[in-house]
Structure 1
Amino acid sequence: MSDVAGSAVGAVAPVAVHSVFRPWWPGVASTAVWAVAAAVTGLLPDHGRAPAGQPLVECEVVIAILSALSVLIGQAGWFAPLAYHGRRIAVLGGAVAVWEIVTAKTGWLPLPFFPSPQAVLDVYRVDSGRLAQSVFSSLLILVPGFLLGAVTGFLAGLAMGWSPEARYWGNPVIRLLGPLPPIAWLPVALFVFPTISTASIFLIALATAFPVAVLTASGVTLVDSRLYDVGRTLGASEGFLIRTIVIPATLPHVFVGLFMGLGASFIVLIVAEMLGAKAGLGWYLQWAQGWAAYANLYAALAVMSVLFSGVTMALFAVRRRALRWNRETVEW
């Protein structure tokens, strides 16, 4: 009996120790790593013409202090996300320290192609106005183009899935024009539309409409036909069947098409702005490359990552609200 109890205690002990140490050790690691990063940035001598790293040191110290507070206070309130992402924050701090060493401290990666972390951070202080204007200009193209394409693709897919006649005429269009890259239509769009902004909106709508139409039509055809028979037996009209049966059952497929179209829209937006626009994030990238301002280029890439991730999160939030009855298997 004592042997059994001893083995049970031995089996439970590692789990108990792991559960005790798990909440705070990522915070300790994050605190240590960011403290080391601050020491590397502030104490090691700079190589060549590297910009002063005092603002970067201040940011690193603040992150180290917040990580330490997450250990002391625990997973409560505002510090809960910080404690949860402790390991990721620690890895990020290590990456910043290595980046600082190979650029500002040793010059192993040559300028101007590989600026230091402080050079990228200075872009947000010096050129924040132009970056904000570029984000606003890109959103003025992305949002209406995506919404126009989503509505058009949904209606076209709904018609193709419901009506054999619409499917007869719509399938050739989807098969012939759908595989074409939307950006290939740029010369035609620039000729037809008066400005690069309206042409870009059209191209983004085109990139969104085709996957939404295909997935919506597929979702409509997969609805169980017995539901239609029950509805017609009870006297339901065609419009009632579409509103209450077809659209709710098709929504999961519609959102798959929306996510596919959103990814294609990001590509079309940046390429269109790089080729002919006078504002926007794509134009900013082209401008930074032309002036060899690679710190600005990397800063813009970071802004694009946050912006596009935020737009994707917003679409996931809409999906969660629209499909409350459906178990979500993918998070963002």
Structure 2
Amino acid sequence: MSSAEVSTLAAAATPRAFKVWRQGAVAVTAWVAVALLISYWPNATRVWPMTQGLANLCLAVAALIGLLGIVGRWSATVATRIRAAGAWLIALPILLAIWELLTAKLGLLPVPFFAPPQALLAVYVEDWPRLADSLLHSALLLGTGVALGAATGFVAGVAIGWSTSIGYWLHPVLRILGPVPSTALLPLCFFLFPTSWSASVFLIALATWFPVTVLTWSGVASVDKAYYDVARTLGAKQGFLIFKVAIPAALPHVFVGLFMGLGASFSTLVVAEMMGVKAGIGWYLQWAQG
């Protein structure tokens, strides 16, 4: 065995020097400091439930970060992921401390409108069955409306972008309904539809339909004509041009439309549930306010 091979084996057998993860150490210190702040700084206005529970949760987060830092010593995957989140692990306890100081400790923000973090934790712990049921109903309602709106919006967008005759009839609908917020149609929909659930599904679908339709239409219409010419030269039919050329080229626009539609549909969901649905996040907000 050569001297180079011996030195290589010796280097491999020698344990690596321990490198301190500085961001992790700062994050652990920050979470422990927040826990001490929550535990020992007296509340300004009232004794909030789950104050000590929130402090214990902060200590648990600090312990978890420290444990992951130790595990990352032997796992490159864990080390890479946790080091990438190091800045956030420091920023979150700072934001939590500011929130705690402004609400529970100093009382600078009015309590009915700005609840301290331990009050939210108490709701999650004490009222989780009703909250979980509301989240389940909201997810079902949101998923149904978004799926319906995305499917119809995708079909309408492809049709408008591909066919000028279809676009002739659908353009006025887009121009009339597009600028109108879905929440503005709440009274009309609750009057026309047999149930509040079906009216909410329609409003959520409408909120999703418009951005998906417009951006899908834009994506199909902006496909380079050279793609169609090359495909036609190779003998492609109209169906091939639509499903194999136009739609794949327009997918980036479609996903942007889905992202925008999801945000609009979520706001519509909460408003619709506050107005008439018997379960969901919006209903829970109304119920919690009494």
Shorter-chain TM-score range: 0.7 to 0.9
- 8 Å Cα contact 1:67-1:86 kept in structure 2: no
The equivalent residue for 1:250 is 250
Question: Among residues 28, 34, 37, which one is paired with 2:34 in the alignment?
Answer: 37
- Shift of residue 127 of structure 1? 0.6
* Pairing of 1:112-261 with structure 2 (within 5 A): 112-261=112-261
- Shift of residue 117 of structure 1? 2.3
The equivalent residue for 1:24 is 21
Distance 1:167 1:129, change over 3 A: same
Name the SS of the counterpart of 1:277 in structure 2: coil
Query: What TM-score do you get using the length of structure 2 for normalisation?
Result: 0.85
- 8 Å Cα contact 2:103-2:109 kept in structure 1: yes
- 8 Å Cα contact 2:44-2:107 kept in structure 1: yes
- Shift of residue 26 of structure 1? 1.1
Distance in 2, matches of 1:112 and 1:263, equals 26
Distance 1:65 1:247, change over 3 A: same
Distance 1:197 1:240, change over 3 A: same
- Shift of residue 80 of structure 1? 4.8
- Shift of residue 205 of structure 1? 0.9
The equivalent residue for 2:48 is 51
Distance in 2, matches of 1:48 and 1:154, equals 53
RMSD: 2.2
Greater displacement, 141-150 / 43-52: 43-52
- 8 Å Cα contact 1:186-1:272 kept in structure 2: yes
Distance in 2, matches of 1:174 and 1:107, equals 49
- Shift of residue 79 of structure 1? 5.9
Code of the aligned partner of 1:117? P
- 8 Å Cα contact 2:69-2:82 kept in structure 1: no
- 8 Å Cα contact 1:41-1:100 kept in structure 2: yes
- 8 Å Cα contact 2:231-2:241 kept in structure 1: yes
- Shift of residue 142 of structure 1? 0.7
Distance 1:110 1:247, change over 3 A: closer
Unaligned runs of 5+ in 2: 1-17
Query: What TM-score do you get using the length of structure 1 for normalisation?
Result: 0.75
Distance in 2, matches of 1:159 and 1:115, equals 49
Task: Describe the superposition over 1:191-216 as per-residue Cα deviations: whole angstroms up to 9, x where unpaired.
Answer: 22111111011011111111111111
Name the SS of the counterpart of 2:229 in structure 1: helix
- Shift of residue 164 of structure 1? 1.5
The equivalent residue for 1:66 is 64
Distance 1:39 1:241, change over 3 A: same
Greater displacement, 125-134 / 164-173: 164-173
Distance in 2, matches of 1:215 and 1:274, equals 30
Name the SS of the counterpart of 2:46 in structure 1: coil
Code of the aligned partner of 1:234? L
Code of the aligned partner of 1:204? I
- How many residue pairs match? The answer is 270
Task: Describe the superposition over 1:200-259 as per-residue Cα deviations: whole angstroms up to 9, x where unpaired.
Answer: 110111111111111111111112223323333333221121111111111111111111
- Shift of residue 73 of structure 1? 3.9
Unaligned runs of 5+ in 1: 1-19, 292-332
- 8 Å Cα contact 1:34-1:64 kept in structure 2: yes
Greater displacement, 188-197 / 229-238: 229-238
Distance 1:153 1:98, change over 3 A: closer
Distance in 1, matches of 2:254 and 2:179, equals 19
* Pairing of 1:78-89 with structure 2 (within 5 A): 78=78, 80-89=80-89
